[in-house]
Amino acid sequence: MKKRNLVLVCGLILMLVFFWCPSAQASTVVFEDDFEGSMRSEWFANHPGTFQVTTEKAQNGNYSVKTDTFDNTLNYDFTSAPITDGTIEARFYDFAENIGTYPSISVDLLNQSQGKGCSVHASPYFFQENYSVRDGTSSIHDTGIARTEGWHIVQFHTSADGFKAYLDYNLVYQTGVFEINYLQFGSQFKPDETPIHPAYFDNAKIYTEGLVQPPTLEERVEQLEQRVDALEIELTATNNRVTILEQAMQSVKNTINNIMSYLNKLPNGIKKQIGL
């Protein structure tokens, strides 16, 4: 009940902020795939057949696309019409556990060799607790954003002002001017592990002539709910630790009482000798 009230209050605050914010520039969608029952023909996988649409999870609509194959990628190459002013965005689902199939969303930057693009990862290979970002070379950085269970949006925006990468609307990397020509969904897991979760992706979109679109009110409330859930889990864990500590202290008290009870039953002569 308290959680719902908090979300409602935050939602109302965000609604006010939302109305005061300037609206995003008009944009034109040039590519979109919500994976609603099928995949667009432009996609190709490096292990064909290992990405499938599914109703198991969906960020939008009823379907997403999933894989549970190690080191697999789903790719869309638009080198013939690279984006010079626009945004490439997609969503991945993170179970926020360090066993599973770890999702990443990447773009390649024209004028750099393929595979040297910018990626946002949920991966224990790099920073276990936080999301990481590859900076367009081979360097991986900590975004400082804690991993949470649920859907996350990755956006890559390029314009004459430069290239910027966003995770959940937070700027996580920026560099000079680059055209974007390639979108890739990736999945990895540790080879010695049996993955317990597939990697899910949904709602890929490329649009031009617009700034990164701000989150909808629904998305903002959803993010707040995820944060409240994470805080509740943390609070429960803390309460559990306190309970365990209290139980341990009670156990020590019981042991002391038992020892005192035993000592009190000793003959008076022995009690005197041990100073009781």
Which residue ranges make up the site for Ca ion (CB under 5 A)? 34-35, 58, 60-61, 63, 202
Cα 192 to chain centroid distance, Å, stands at: 23
Q: Which helix (H) or strand (E) holds 246?
A: helix 217-264
CB 73 within 8 Å of CB 186: yes
> Based on CB atoms, which residue is closest to Ca ion, 58 or 154?
58
Q: By three-state DSSP, how is residue 155 classified?
A: strand
> Based on CB atoms, which residue is closest to Ca ion, 119 or 203?
203
> Based on CB atoms, which residue is closest to Ca ion, 63 or 207?
63
Residue 59 Cβ vs Ca ion, minimum distance, rounded to whole Å: 6
Residue 53 Cβ vs Ca ion, minimum distance, rounded to whole Å: 8
Residue 187 Cβ vs Ca ion, minimum distance, rounded to whole Å: 18
CA–CA distance, 226 with 233 (Å, rounded to integer): 11
> Based on CB atoms, which residue is closest to Ca ion, 41 or 261?
41
* DSSP symbols for 208-243: ESSPPPPPPHHHHHHHHHHHHHHHHHHHHHHHHHHH
Side chain identity, residue 151: W
Q: By three-state DSSP, how is residue 175 classified?
A: strand
CB 197 within 8 Å of CB 100: yes
> Based on CB atoms, which residue is closest to Ca ion, 85 or 222?
222
CB 222 within 8 Å of CB 1: no
> Based on CB atoms, which residue is closest to Ca ion, 58 or 206?
58
Cα 125 to chain centroid distance, Å, stands at: 15
